[in-house]
Amino acid sequence: MASSPIKLKGYEFFQKTLKSPRFVVAPMVEQSELAWRLLSRRHNASLCYTPMFHARLFSEAQNTRYRKEQWTTNDEDRPVVVQFCANDPDILLAAAKLVEDDCDAVDLNLGCPQGIARKGHYGSFLQDEWELIEKMVKTLDTHLKVPVTVKIRVFPTVEKTVEYAKMIEAAGAQMLTVHGRLREQKGHITGLADWDKIKAVKDAVKIPVLANGNILYYDDIQRCIEHTGVDGVMSAEGNLYNPALFNPKYKDLPPLSWEIAKEYLEICKDVDARGQCIKAHLFKIFHASLPIHTDLRQELAKCHEWQNYWDFCMNMKERLIKDQEQGTELDGKENEKGIRQYSHWRCQVTCSCFFFFDFQTQLGSHFPRFDFFFLALHPPQQAANPQAGEEAQGRRCCQGRPAQETKGRRPRSALCGGRCIIFKTPQHIDTEKSKNKTTNCIIDKTEKKVRRGCGQKWLAF
């Protein structure tokens, strides 16, 4: 009887199985699907994670549709790590057993900060339940054929973050990804990731560590590695806007967006990708172009079949080639917000939620207190008045026109399609007040509804 292969651990697993990856594509729900992973690999990604799968849904015997839609792979898709969210060790193990023969590791998601994770009691909302986390990691480490890895967020203090990481390492995790943001840092209050906390974790544990956060450009990769000492760097948003982020060929000038979209669609046709994923990716790839070619934005919104997406891409290609011939190539010079400005026909991050964030933790309270000013940037060619987003003029868009509110959450300029938002917390925060309590905004003194808990926000239009 042949013996089972020995399960590698720690750096032996990292080097021999994962091939010492430095450029890693993050797990992203409905975004890091097979076609996107293959595209990223073509542009120098050395390790890819699947989207986060829900362990209970994935393990249900009757739920074959969920598994078929969510989990696909092929011979080109290696090394690959499958990520699950869960709050029950047995359910997590049952789900992981279904993929252990087709992946290189199984990752436990302890970083998802979204409301659905709070409601489902998983992700970063397990952050304070160390006994449960320890049991889940130990269960996978004991019973799986492949190693278990874990992705976490940091705590407000370095000491607790390090203690947390060491507990997970002792439970049996063979690699750790540290997202250097707090659970509360999400959406419009994302802020900068704390590389110092990532460095502290790296210095404290003996297993490989990946850093996640603040990776927008190729230069950021080496800066992060030098600052933190990590073994590799993971990117999520940066990869979505520019899947060639890890490709040194494009370190000075990003690729043409229509070329990337065309390459992605060709892969999608080969692997029969779902239209929902395709649409989301094309909106990101053409993020800088769609506010200009608004008719094509409407065309993309109506697409459902692969041929529709292909026709849209060819129409956009024709427009952008003409724009490039008639326009001026921007060289990536940083604006006052730290965002590199490229021409709209290139893949790029065109908005930032990182650079006006002053995070303060109110000790003794379950929720942190935020006091910050946030401005989401417009594509460079749209910013006719770059000073118009400052606090004194925060109620108008970059063109000087009043911003319009959509669905009560995200004000947009009807003229330019950009976002000009000012957020402030109230001068007094009482998280014990009822959910529908109103109080005065500190900017325009009008009453706004507030939500109980972290991140009460007033929008000044």
Which of 112, 303, 347, 441 is catalytic? The answer is 112
Q: Look up residue 230 and give its amino acid.
A: V
pLDDT at 169 over 60: yes
Who wins on pLDDT, 458 or 208?
Answer: 208
The per-residue pLDDT for 350 is: 67
Q: Write the DSSP symbol of residue 452.
A: S
State the CB neighbour count (10 A cutoff) for residue 291.
Answer: 21
Q: How far is Cα 446 from Cα 430, in angstroms, rounded to an integer?
A: 18
For the stretch 376-415, pLDDT in tens is: 333 333 333 333 333 333 333 333 334 343 334 433 333 3
- In this prediction, residue 145 has a pLDDT band, given cuts at 50, 70 and 90, of very high
| Average pLDDT of the residues in 87-108 | 98
Looking at every residue in the chain, the average pLDDT score rounds to: 81
Bridge partners (DSSP) listed for residue 370: 359
Q: How far is Cα 272 from Cα 362, in angstroms, rounded to an integer?
A: 49
The per-residue pLDDT for 337 is: 75
- Which distant-in-sequence residues (6+ apart) come within 8 Å of 285 by Cβ? 241, 243, 257, 260, 261, 264, 347
What is the DSSP secondary-structure string of 137-188? HHHHHHH-SS-EEEEEE--SSHHHHHHHHHHHHHHT-S-EEEE-S-TT--GG
Per residue, the 3-state secondary structure of 251-284, as one string, reads: CCCCCEHHHHHHHHHHHHHHHCCCHHHHHHHHHH
pLDDT at 21 over 70: yes
Q: How far is Cα 399 from Cα 396, in angstroms, rounded to an integer?
A: 8
The per-residue pLDDT for 359 is: 35
Q: How far is Cα 58 from Cα 63, in angstroms, rounded to an integer?
A: 7
**Cis bond leading into 79, ω under 30°?**
yes
Tokens matching residue 16: 């021999």
Whether residue 112 lies in the annotated active site = yes
Q: How far is Cα 107 from Cα 217, in angstroms, rounded to an integer?
A: 26
Beta strands in 307-397 (DSSP E): 331-334, 340-342, 359-360, 369-370
- In this prediction, residue 111 has a pLDDT band, given cuts at 50, 70 and 90, of very high
What is the DSSP secondary-structure string of 33-57? -HHHHHHHHHTT--EEEEEEEEHHH
Mean pLDDT lowest among 111-125, 331-345, 400-414: 400-414
Who wins on pLDDT, 319 or 416?
Answer: 319
The per-residue pLDDT for 391 is: 33
Mean pLDDT lowest among 261-265, 307-311, 435-439: 435-439
The per-residue pLDDT for 4 is: 55
